[in-house]
């Protein structure tokens, strides 16, 4: 934008002149078009009125001719002695030749009807009750009348009916039928150029015949009764006047009116021969412009050519600036890996979109790939980037014009969507396409997409950041293993957020009041049954005695970083606990303390650990540091360096949850460790022969690497025996004990025999 302002300042006069000149040209063209349109509108409406008059005259003349033919046929039939008879069929057949009636009928006074075609053969056919009623109603003084729908409900099949009178008595009726469209409307086409809808109606509003010509919008197609139909539409005052003139007067005219917010012109003329029939031509006013363009095509083309030329000149002056601005936008707001918008652009434009489009019910969503870090670890960052590019492309493909996408960080995408109903199906398609692409580049692990969604409330004061936070909270609750892809923010998610906020608001005071307690779960030697160590686990017990469970607060602490404080707190507490044990009264067994992967990212981590160990001056190996296998997927090189420093200090390193990740064996070849702890899920399926063999080989592998092996999750005596058979010395699980308070653990497992205690006391007194 700064470059655009600079260009404007340098070329202000030229820009103002070109823009002013361009607008003057546009105004002149608009004035010309308006004036020309008004004059042409008057001229065209006059033409429509004239055409309606010609159409009514042609229709009247055609109907008059058929009326004369019908009277002649009735007169001839009145001279035949026997009706019906072959002689009658012969006479009637003469009137069905070319250019006359399509069919000829004789109707008896009691309602029987006989039809004759050009083959001069007759047959009796049913007569519609409505037609029979109309024939008798119109039987006035032997006059010829017109009846619609004699033998079918097709109104355009008109019958000219004339009473057959003999000795001043009506003995029947002659009826000759013909198609109004063929005989009248097509004849009119030869005399005038028709545009719009031609309708022939009676004074009751019933449509006798109708046809459409040229361009029309279909509003007046397939109408049974024009009066009733128009009553159901939204008409302006002029439209009601038009209707009144059509049905109530004998005038000829044309006028404009509005129907359902669209403008029309209608011309009308009454038929001389049928005083209750009116000929109407209705045309959308929009057709006027097509008519004008066709009449002044060369003139308008020249005008528009000049306008386009001016636009090209003006746009050409700014095109360089536009390219430059686009380039700057690309640098500032386009994600370099995926080509999607960045988070900064999403925040700016997203706020505008939510406030600008008031009539669209938007939702904010966040999307990621579960366990995406394994893709980078196992297959490299380049393949991970390829997957991100495909995901961004597919997400953008399924977005509409008024929806927005950005890449936040890593595999996390943020969206503003309008069609929430189709969001999960769209994600399903994207997931299928993403996994298909992954197979093509030899990424063998399944890619599972999940999304959180929160609907934007109308007239809400919440900003975009508020909605994104709640969409993220909902996303983290998605259980992809259940097949569900999207979790919508609702009451349960809101409660989860409230619990999180409560945890975050009280975590500092909880640490100050030492509400975080050390619990220990013992480890046993499966061969001797002796206590061999313990794992330190944190429990949050509030002052009032209520519990906050680890699965509630640990994920929160990992996200907000408080877990680093908690890990050092636990390490400090365990070291202090072991330091305070009198070695003569209590046994000393190694205790492992969990270290989160977040903590390992602290550049001062090793120094802080060294300071804690030196301050408590504990024997080497008494306190072990336990790291989960998944910690090595963040920055393996850095973590390996940290482990080497810790081992150089004499600290024992445990690898926890081995077997839970995707690259366990790949990890073992790169790191140094002392104890391999097999994940409980890995151990739980040992009823399977295959799983038993794999577990046995893992135990052998640990021994081959000069490492101790421990299995967690032992729950039965049979499992313990199986570990003995495999040569796995250490185990822990509910079979031995659940995690218990540190004081109880010390009293139950570390306190030496009473006799020994008394001896120590006596010796101490001496």
Q: Which of 286-295, 364-373, 453-462 has the lowest mean pLDDT?
A: 286-295
pLDDT of residue 156: 55
Separation CA 190–CA 193 (nearest Å): 8
What's the token pair of residue 295?
Answer: 């009449």
Q: Give the confidence band of 71 by pLDDT, cuts at 50, 70, 90.
A: confident
Residue 663 reports pLDDT greater than 60: no
The H or E element containing residue 324 is helix 297-333
Predicted pLDDT of residue 685: 58
- If one counts every other C-beta atom within 10 angstroms of the C-beta of residue 589, the result is 18
| C-beta of residue 150 within 8 angstroms of C-beta of residue 159 | yes
* pLDDT single digits (tens) 525-557: 999 999 999 999 999 999 999 999 998 899 888
Return the closest-CA partner of residue 728 out of 697, 686, 766, 761: 697
- Quick one: average pLDDT of 386-402? 90
**Between 660 and 453, where is the model more confident?**
453
Instruction: Give the least confident one: 56-60, 156-160, 174-178, 238-242.
Output: 156-160
Residue labelled with tokens 């539409």: 233
| Average pLDDT over all residues of the chain | 81
- Exposure string of 133-147, with b = 16+ CB inside 10 Å and e = fewer, is ebbeeebeeeebbbb
Cβ proximity of 662 and 378 under 8 Å: yes
Q: What is the pLDDT of residue 502?
A: 92
Mean pLDDT of 191-214: 78
Q: Is a pLDDT exceeding 50 seen at residue 114?
A: yes
State the Cα–Cα distance between residues 396 and 413, nearest whole angstrom: 11
**Which of 103-112, 147-156, 746-755, 757-766 has the least mean pLDDT?**
757-766
CA pair distance 554, 210, nearest whole angstrom: 78
* 14 band by pLDDT with thresholds 50, 70 and 90: low
User: Which is higher by pLDDT, 611 or 181?
Assistant: 611
Task: Assess whether the previous peptide bond of 347 is cis (omega < 30° from 0).
Answer: no
Instruction: Determine the pLDDT at residue 651.
Output: 93
Question: Is the pLDDT at 657 greater than 70, yes or no?
Answer: yes
The predicted structure's pLDDT at residue 332: 65
pLDDT at 11: 58
Q: How far is CA 322 from CA 4, 9, 313, 315, 582, in A?
A: 8, 16, 14, 9, 79
Please tell me the predicted confidence (pLDDT) of residue 660.
59
- Two tokens, residue 322: 């536009």
Mean pLDDT of 260-264: 85
Structure tokens that stand for 8 in this block: 């404007």
397: enclosing H helix or E strand: helix 381-397
| Residue 601 CB partners (closer than 8 Å, separation 6+) | 634, 635, 638
**Residue indicated by tokens 């046993």:** 524
Lowest mean pLDDT among 435-439, 455-459, 679-683: 679-683
C-alpha dist (Å) from residue 520 to 235, 477, 558, 577, 594: 85, 30, 21, 11, 12
The number of residues making up the chain comes to 766
Contact 474, 453 (CB under 8 A): yes
Over range 257-285, report the average pLDDT: 82
The answer to whether the beta carbons of residues 516 and 538 sit under 8 Å apart is: yes
Question: 462 pLDDT exceeds 60?
Answer: yes
Q: What percent of the chain has pLDDT over 70?
A: 80
Mean pLDDT of 298-313: 64
If one compares 402 and 665, the residue with the highest pLDDT of the two is 402
> For residue 668, what pLDDT band results from cuts at 50, 70 and 90?
confident
The residue-averaged pLDDT of 242-266 equals 83
Q: How far apart are CA 42 and CA 57, in angstroms?
A: 23
Mean pLDDT to the nearest integer, 559-584: 91
Percentage of residues of the chain with pLDDT beyond 90: 26
- Measure the CA–CA gap between 331 and 333, rounded to whole angstroms: 6
Tokens of 349: 């434009």
Interatomic CA distance for residues 134 and 276, integer angstroms: 14
pLDDT at residue 353 is higher than 90: no
State how beta strands 363-370 and 404-407 pair: unpaired
Q: How confident is the model at residue 400 (pLDDT cuts 50, 70, 90)?
A: confident
For residue 416, what pLDDT is reported? 93
pLDDT of residue 59: 78
Residues whose CB is less than 8 angstroms from the CB of residue 409 and which lie 6 or more positions away in sequence, other chains included: 343
pLDDT given at position 17: 63
Distance CA 591, CA 531 (A): 11
Distance of CA 723 to the CA centre of its chain: 54
């Amino acid at each position: 934008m700064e470059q655009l302002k600079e260009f404007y300042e340098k070329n202000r006069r030229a820009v103002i002149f070109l823009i002013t000149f361009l607008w003057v040209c546009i105004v002149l063209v608009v004035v010309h078009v308006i004036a020309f349109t008004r004059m042409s509108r008057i001229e065209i409406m006059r033409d429509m009125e004239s055409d309606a008059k010609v159409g009514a005259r042609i229709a009247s003349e055609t109907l008059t001719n058929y009326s004369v033919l019908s009277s002649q046929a009735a007169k001839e039939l009145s001279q035949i002695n026997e009706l019906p008879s072959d002689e009658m069929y012969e006479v009637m057949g003469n009137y069905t030749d070319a250019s006359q009636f399509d069919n000829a009928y004789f109707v008896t006074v009691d309602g029987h009807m006989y039809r004759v075609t050009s083959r001069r053969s007759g047959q009796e056919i049913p007569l519609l009750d409505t037609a029979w009623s109309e024939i008798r109603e119109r039987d006035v003084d032997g006059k010829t009348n017109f009846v619609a729908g004699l033998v079918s409900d097709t109104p355009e099949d008109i019958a000219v009916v004339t009473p057959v009178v003999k000795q001043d008595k009506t003995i029947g009726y002659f009826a000759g039928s013909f198609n109004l469209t063929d005989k009248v409307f097509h004849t009119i086409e030869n005399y005038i150029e028709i545009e719009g809808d031609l309708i022939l109606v009676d004074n009751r509003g019933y449509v006798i015949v109708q046809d459409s010509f040229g361009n029309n919008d279909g509003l007046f197609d397939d109408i049974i009764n024009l009066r009733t139909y128009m009553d159901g539409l939204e008409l302006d005052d002029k439209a009601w006047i038009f209707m009144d003139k059509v049905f109530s007067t004998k005038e000829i005219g044309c006028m404009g009116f509005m129907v359902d917010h669209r403008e029309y012109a209608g011309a009308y003329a009454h038929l001389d021969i049928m005083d209750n029939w009116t000929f109407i031509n209705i045309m959308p006013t929009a057709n006027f412009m097509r008519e004008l363009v066709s009449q002044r095509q060369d003139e308008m083309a020249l005008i528009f050519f000049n306008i386009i030329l001016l636009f090209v000149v003006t746009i050409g002056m700014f095109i360089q600036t536009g390219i430059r601005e686009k380039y700057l936008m690309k640098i500032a707001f386009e994600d370099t890996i995926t080509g999607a918008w960045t988070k900064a652009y999403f925040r700016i434009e997203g706020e505008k979109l939510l406030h600008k489009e008031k009539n669209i019910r938007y939702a904010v969503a966040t999307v990621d790939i579960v366990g995406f870090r394994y893709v980078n670890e196992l297959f490299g960052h380049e393949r991970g980037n390829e997957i991100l590019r495909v995901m961004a492309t597919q997400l953008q493909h399924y977005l509409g014009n008024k929806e927005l996408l950005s890449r936040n960080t890593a595999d996390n995408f943020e969206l503003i969507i309008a069609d929430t109903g189709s969001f999960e199906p769209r994600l399903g398609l994207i997931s299928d396409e993403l996994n298909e692409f992954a197979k093509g580049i030899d990424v063998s692990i399944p890619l599972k997409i999940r999304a959180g969604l929160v609907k934007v409330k109308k007239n809400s004061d919440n900003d975009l950041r508020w909605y994104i936070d709640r969409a993220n909270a909902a996303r983290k609750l998605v259980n992809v293993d259940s097949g569900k892809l999207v979790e919508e923010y609702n009451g349960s998610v809101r409660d989860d957020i409230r619990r999180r906020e409560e945890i975050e608001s009280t975590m500092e005071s909880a640490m100050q009041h030492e509400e975080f307690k050390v619990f220990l779960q013992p480890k046993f030697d499966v061969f001797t049954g002796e206590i061999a160590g313990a794992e330190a686990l944190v429990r949050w017990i509030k002052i009032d005695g209520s519990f906050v469970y680890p699965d509630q607060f640990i994920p929160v602490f990992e996200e907000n970083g408080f877990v680093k404080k908690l890990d050092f707190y636990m390490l400090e507490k365990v070291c202090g606990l072991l330091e305070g044990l009198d070695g003569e009264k209590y046994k000393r067994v190694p205790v492992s303390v969990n270290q989160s992967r977040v903590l390992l990212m602290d550049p001062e981590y090793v120094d802080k650990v060294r300071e804690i160990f030196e301050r408590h001056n504990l024997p080497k190996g008494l306190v072990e540091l336990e790291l989960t296998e998944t910690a090595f997927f963040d920055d393996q090189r850095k973590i390996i360096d940290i482990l080497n420093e810790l081992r150089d200090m004499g600290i024992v390193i445990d690898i926890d949850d081995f077997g839970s990740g995707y690259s366990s064996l790949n990890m073992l070849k790169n790191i140094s460790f002392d104890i391999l702890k097999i994940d409980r899920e890995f151990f739980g399926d040992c009823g399977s022969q295959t799983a038993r063999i794999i577990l046995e080989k893992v135990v052998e592998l640990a021994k081959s690497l000069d490492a101790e092996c421990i299995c967690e999750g032992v729950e039965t005596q049979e499992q313990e025996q199986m570990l003995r058979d495999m040569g796995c010395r250490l185990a822990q699980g509910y079979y031995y004990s659940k995690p218990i308070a540190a004081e109880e653990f010390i009293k139950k497992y570390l306190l030496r025999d009473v006799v020994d205690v008394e001896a120590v006391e006596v010796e101490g007194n001496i």
